[in-house]
């Protein structure tokens, strides 16, 4: 009988030695591919390809299409959502990684997972939840740390079959997700090669460096992807025109998303060191591009993120978030004495809670279906996780369901 040849996965792993650079993360690297729960490799996907698949088939990834990027609950179909942003990050990261001979499977998985924990209503929603969490004695809320919590604890397709929570992702992907921290732009970024899994839970609140070059690439791709795309959205809604940009930005980076991405990526490729095996690897940009990017970031903060059109409903977001968070806590506390299958049963038989995907129905499914033992978690932690997982549209629907009066006749 003829012996079985190498599997597609084994062939792909072998090919990495030919096309990856000396500092790239291999799909066989024991540190990078370590999972909390050991799992037999399959025959056709590398470990990072497997993680990518797990993420894009998860419910939190699907929900990103209805989460705010900059403009709250946009009705214009051409404004960027959190899902599109994640795909843009993946596109930019893959371009950089391929040119630098890094692992494109790893950057793809990190990129599609990096914003899974983002709150509804963008960064204003995140700020609101952080204050509410701190008032309840929790550490606060950051979407980086929450994204790791989502993949480790809150999306659990293997709960009933394998008995563990989370997606059981590799260390390399989990680290890249929690360390993406795309709100600052260092001129040079080197991976933390000594980092291990025990440090990940603190990484989201400290801005810790990624453990791999691929994680560094996604961290920068996040900035590259959003800075020009947010300008395009501002042009679309009429709050800015290309002529408004500072000359120091336009002379170096340009005015369109296309030109900004091209110029930033080209400069990263020219200034990074990932091919010299005898030197420490790093990702970098030149001083001119670094200064122009920071000037653009400061301009965007003033003219886009803090413009009146974006901030118009921040007060409404804060009031609604506070009310809904408090109501969810009250619902959870009221459900604790009941049997799992009976919680909210009386209210779920009455309008409007009886409709498909009502807030009460989804909350019951979250508590009794996604968690091993929800009563072991604190009420504020459960409420924070539930509200943070909402899309903008579901949040508004839940608010209407729980707070607006209805006729009973």
Q: Are residues 193 and 322 in the same domain?
A: no
Q: Are residues 261 and 376 in the same domain?
A: no
Cβ distance 387 to 328 under 8 Å? yes
Asked whether residue 3 is assigned to any structural domain, the reply reads: no
- Could you give the number of structural domains in the chain? 2
* Domain CATH for 216: 1.10.3210.10
Q: What does the block give as tokens for 147?
A: 């994204």
Reported as a pLDDT band with limits 50, 70 and 90, residue 1 is very low
Q: Are residues 93 and 171 in the same domain?
A: yes
Reported as a pLDDT band with limits 50, 70 and 90, residue 342 is confident
> Residue 337 pLDDT more than 60?
yes
Q: What does the block give as tokens for 309?
A: 């059109």
pLDDT, average across residues 112-118: 93
pLDDT, average across residues 146-161: 89
Cβ distance 197 to 148 under 8 Å? no
* Boundary of a domain, candidates 263, 284, 310: 310
Asked whether residue 5 is assigned to any structural domain, the reply reads: no
Residue numbers of the domain that contains 332: 313-403
Question: Would you tell me how many other CB atoms lie within 10 Å of the CB of residue 14?
Answer: 11
The phi and psi torsions of 208 (rounded to 5 degrees) equal -60, 150
Question: What per-residue confidence (pLDDT) applies to 80?
Answer: 64
Q: Are residues 375 and 290 in the same domain?
A: no
Question: What per-residue confidence (pLDDT) applies to 182?
Answer: 52
pLDDT, average across residues 223-248: 88
* DSSP code string of 210-266: PSSHHHHHHHHHHHHHHHHHHHHHHHHHTS--GGGS-HHHHTTT-SSHHHHHHHHHH
> Residue 117 pLDDT more than 50?
yes
Please list, in sequence order, all residues whose beta carbon lies within 8 angstroms of the beta carbon of residue 237, skipping any fewer than 6 positions away: 71, 76, 79, 309
* Boundary of a domain, candidates 252, 276, 310: 310
* Boundary of a domain, candidates 310, 325, 344: 310
Please provide the size of the chain in residues: 409
> Residue 70 pLDDT more than 70?
no
C-alpha torsion sign, points 124, 128, 133, 135: positive
Specify the pTM: 0.94
| 77 HSE (CA, 13 A, CB side) | 0
């Amino acid at each position: 009988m003829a012996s079985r040849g190498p599997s597609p996965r084994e062939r792909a792993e072998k090919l990495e030695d030919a096309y990856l650079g000396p500092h790239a993360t291999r799909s066989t690297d024991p540190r990078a591919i370590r999972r909390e729960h050991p799992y037999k490799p399959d025959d056709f996907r590398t470990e990072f390809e497997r993680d990518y698949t797990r993420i894009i088939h998860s419910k939190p990834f699907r929900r990103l299409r209805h989460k705010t990027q900059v403009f709250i609950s946009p009705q214009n179909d051409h404004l960027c959502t959190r899902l599109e942003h994640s795909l843009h990050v993946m596109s930019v990261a893959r371009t950089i990684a391929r040119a630098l001979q890094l692992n494109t499977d790893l950057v793809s998985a990190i990129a599609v997972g990096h914003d899974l924990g983002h709150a509804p209503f963008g960064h204003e929603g995140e700020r609101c939840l952080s204050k509410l969490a701190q008032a309840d004695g929790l550490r606060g809320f950051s979407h980086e740390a929450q994204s790791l919590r989502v993949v480790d604890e809150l999306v659990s397709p293997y709960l009933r079959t394998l008995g563990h929570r989370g997606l059981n992702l590799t260390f390399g992907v989990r680290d890249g997700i929690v360390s993406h921290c795309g709100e600052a732009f260092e001129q040079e970024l080197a991976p933390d090669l000594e980092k291990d899994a025990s440090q990940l839970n603190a990484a989201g609140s400290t801005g810790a460096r990624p453990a791999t070059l691929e994680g560094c690439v996604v961290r920068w791709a996040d900035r590259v992807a959003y800075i020009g795309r947010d300008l395009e959205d501002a042009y679309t809604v009429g709050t800015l025109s290309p002529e408004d940009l500072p000359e120091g930005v336009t002379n170096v980076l340009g005015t369109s998303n296309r030109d900004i991405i091209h110029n930033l990526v080209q400069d990263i490729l020219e200034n990074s060191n990932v091919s010299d095996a005898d030197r420490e690897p790093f990702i970098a940009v030149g001083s001119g591009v670094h200064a122009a990017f920071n000037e653009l970031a400061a301009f965007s903060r003033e003219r886009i993120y803090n413009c009146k059109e974006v901030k118009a409903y921040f007060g409404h977001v804060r009031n609604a978030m506070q009310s809904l968070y408090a109501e969810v806590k009250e619902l959870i506390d009221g459900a604790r004495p009941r049997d799992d299958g009976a919680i909210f049963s009386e209210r779920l038989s009455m309008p409007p809670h009886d409709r498909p995907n009502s807030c009460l129905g989804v909350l019951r499914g979250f508590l009794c279906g996604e968690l091993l033992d929800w009563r072991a978690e604190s009420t504020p932690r459960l409420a924070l996780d539930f509200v943070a997982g909402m899309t903008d549209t579901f949040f508004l629907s839940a608010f209407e369901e729980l707070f607006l009066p209805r006729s009973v006749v």
